[in-house]
Amino acid sequence: MKLIKQHIVYFVFLMSALGIVAQNNTKKGYDIQGKVVTFIFNVKDYPNIENNGDTVDDVFVSGEFNNWAKDQWKMNKVNDSIYTLKKDLSDFTSDFDWEFKFIVNSKHWAEPSRAFNNITDAKSDDGWYYGAYNLKLYSTFATDYGNVSFKLKGHKDAEKVILSGTFNRWDETGFKMKPTDDGWEVTLQLRPDIYQYKFIVDGLWITDPHNPSKVENEYDGYNSVIDVQKNVTFRLCDYQDAETVILSADFNNWSENKFKMKKVDGCWVFDQKLSGGKYHYKFIVDGKWITDPANSVKEYDYDGNINSVCMVK
pLDDT digits (tens, 9 = 90+) for 154-189: 999 999 999 999 988 898 887 999 999 999 999 998
Short-list 248, 3, 26, CA closest to 138: 26
Q: What is the pTM assigned to this prediction?
A: 0.66
Are residues 59 and 103 in contact, defined by beta-carbon separation less than 8 angstroms? Answer: yes
Specify the pLDDT at position 10.
Answer: 36
227 φ, ψ to 5°? -105, 105
- Verify that 239 and 305 share a domain, yes or no: yes
Residue 98 lies in a domain: yes
- Using the predicted structure, report yes or no on whether residue 18 has a pLDDT greater than 60: no
Specify the pLDDT at position 103.
Answer: 94
- Verify that 11 and 121 share a domain, yes or no: yes
pLDDT digits (tens, 9 = 90+) for 86-122: 998 777 766 667 899 999 988 889 998 888 878 888 8
- Verify that 84 and 149 share a domain, yes or no: no
Q: Name the band, by pLDDT with cuts 50, 70 and 90, for residue 5.
A: very low
Specify the pLDDT at position 206.
Answer: 97
Residue 217 lies in a domain: no
Domain boundary among 211, 246, 262: 211
- Verify that 80 and 161 share a domain, yes or no: no
Domain that holds residue 270: 230-312
The more confidently predicted of residues 18 and 97 is: 97
Residue 221 lies in a domain: no
- Verify that 28 and 130 share a domain, yes or no: yes
Which residues are CB-contacts of 169 (< 8 A; sequence separation ≥ 6)?
A: 96, 97
Read off the pLDDT of each residue in 82-86 and give the average, rounded to a whole number: 95
Specify the pLDDT at position 26.
Answer: 55
CA 69, chain centre distance (Å):
20
Q: For the chain, how many structural domains are there in total?
A: 3
- Verify that 79 and 20 share a domain, yes or no: yes
* Percent over 90 (pLDDT), the chain: 57
- Using the predicted structure, report yes or no on whether residue 3 has a pLDDT greater than 50: no
- Verify that 247 and 264 share a domain, yes or no: yes
pLDDT digits (tens, 9 = 90+) for 224-243: 999 999 999 999 998 989 99
Domain boundary among 96, 121, 139: 139
Domain boundary among 211, 238, 265: 211
- Using the predicted structure, report yes or no on whether residue 41 has a pLDDT greater than 80: yes
Least confident of 18-22, 77-81, 83-87: 18-22
| Residue 257, domain CATH | 2.60.40.10
Specify the pLDDT at position 232.
Answer: 96
